[in-house]
Amino acid sequence: MATQYLKRASKTPETETATAQKVVNEMLHEIETRGEAAVREYAKKLDKWDGDIIMTPAQIDQGIKDVPASVKADIEFAAQQVYDFALAQRRSLEDFSTELYPGVTAGQRVIPVNVVGCYAPAGRYAHIASAYMGVATAKAAGVKSIIACSSPFRGGGMHPYVLYAFKAAGADTIMTLGGVQAIATMAYGLFTGKPADVVVGPGNKFVAEAKRTLFGKVGIDVFAGPSEVAVIADETADPYIVASDLVGQAEHGHESPAWLFTTSKALADEVMGLVPKLIEDLPPTARDAAYCAWRDYGEVVLCDTREEVVEVSDRYASEHLEVHTADLDWWLANLTCYGSLFLGEETTVAFGDKASGPNHVLPTKGAARYSGGLSVHKFVKTLTWQKMTRDAAKRIGEVTARISRLEGMEAHARTADDRLRKYFPNETFDRGEPVQV
Ligand SMILES: NC(=O)C1=CN([C@@H]2O[C@H](COP(=O)(O)OP(=O)(O)OC[C@H]3O[C@@H](n4cnc5c(N)ncnc54)[C@H](O)[C@@H]3O)[C@@H](O)[C@H]2O)C=CC1
Ligand SMILES: O=C(O)[C@@H](O)CS(=O)(=O)O
Ligand SMILES: [Zn+2]
């Protein structure tokens, strides 16, 4: 396969994993052992926060009192888009029952989990959109108790717009806590007495590792760490728009990969020329992040054919994937690994990040090979049930007894025997040879 790296990264999304895991394991051990006291210590040490953890209604009102009406309107619009998309997802999931064999009825119920924890990051930027991405989706799923956490913003309390977004989307409890200590608090039910059944939300490498480590004790949405973007572009693409979209996501942080996969050398050359200029033109926080991200993680891959591009792109399984090419339907039909797909120049990752509707909490580090992003599905359980008539137990009971004995499981077999004997005392059945060992 003829692929050529016109720019190769010195780091991969896995580069920082081991360091983060070490920090997270130590913190989780401390929090598991010493509980709320350890959480308060980390909040003070890492985020300079020693105020209340759970916000009272009066503190919430005070925190949002100066949010301008126009900001409220934008947040409400975007939160509604996310809620409506999630509600459409919820409606696509149906309870059903079916007769599998005469007299054997089985079905599924789709029901929400009881308690969820939603995290919205606020280290480098105030992630207003992440606040409604989690909470509005949990609300659409029908979750009764939604606990929301975001870190104190730059040494102060919770950012007022993040707070407003939590409240507008319908959070029941709001806590001023960031990072590992927030994720652990929600998972263990510290301060609230309500351990979350599922903890969701994006975050930096520490947040993502904390969720990964706690998975099992608590459900999680997906490994949603430092943002990634990939753009697929052919000779029909606009190099300026492509470069702008790569830089648009590289501003997330030092560890945010931006990848270009293309069949056009001319386009690749133009984009590589433009990206540093666009980065140079950014304000300081964004410039610093995007500069390091492009330097360490940026890649440009040139392929001969679009089939090769699909292969490369599926291997990277980027969190966000934009396609700027002719024949968009072909790409939609052929690409299989991405967190969310943005087809055509008219849409862009930022639209999905903030306001279009499909969720922006998405898989990173290759997790898109096996999972999509946050959706209503992550907040519901598909539970199965069954019942049967006595007549149906005849056939099912016989097969069960025989298979149980073939497995060496005599006690299982006897539960079937008992029923056959009780319901059909005058009949004989082939129930297999009793297990002797
Ligand atoms: N995959 C996805 O769906 C999304 C990912 N993101 C990503 O979320 C991330 C947000 O990161 P941040 O701005 O940092 O906010 P954050 O809220 O995730 O992290 C801030 C917290 O990190 C903790 N922390 C900082 N340094 C630490 C250290 N040395 N040891 C232990 N804990 C430490 C602090 O407690 C602080 O509260 C970005 O990487 C962004 O790309 C954002 C939105 C969506
Ligand atoms: O990684 C992501 O999903 C982010 O790009 C979302 S946001 O830009 O932080 O809203
Ligand atoms: Zn983004």
pLDDT in tens, 323-379: 999 999 999 999 999 999 999 999 999 999 999 999 999 999 999 999 999 999 999
Pairing of strands 3-7, 299-303: antiparallel
What sign results for the dihedral spanned by CA atoms 396, 402, 403, 409? positive
Residue identifier of the C-alpha nearest atom 10 of ligand 2: 353
Residue identifier of the C-alpha nearest atom 8 of ligand 2: 353
Give pLDDT tens digits for 293-307: 999 999 999 999 999
Residue identifier of the C-alpha nearest atom 1 of ligand 2: 227
Is any atom of ligand 1 closer than 6 Å to the C-beta of 353?
no
Fold of the domain built from segment(s) 35-219+377-382: Rossmann fold (3.40.50)
Average pLDDT, the chain: 97
Mean pLDDT (whole number) for 72-82: 98
> From ligand 2's centre to the CA of 198, what distance in Å?
21
Ligand nearest to the CA of residue 134, numbered in listed order: 1
Domain 3-10+226-372 has CATH 3.40.50.1980: yes
Element (H, E) at 385: strand 380-388
Listed in order, strand segments (DSSP E) in 103-202 are: 104-112, 115-120, 145-150, 173-176, 198-200
Is any atom of ligand 1 closer than 6 Å to the C-beta of 124?
yes
Q: What is the structure's pLDDT at 376?
A: 98
Q: What's the number of CA atoms in the CB half-sphere (13 Å) around residue 149?
A: 31
| pLDDT classification of 1: cutoffs 50, 70, 90 | low
What sign results for the dihedral spanned by CA atoms 100, 380, 191, 222? positive
> From ligand 3's centre to the CA of 257, what distance in Å?
12
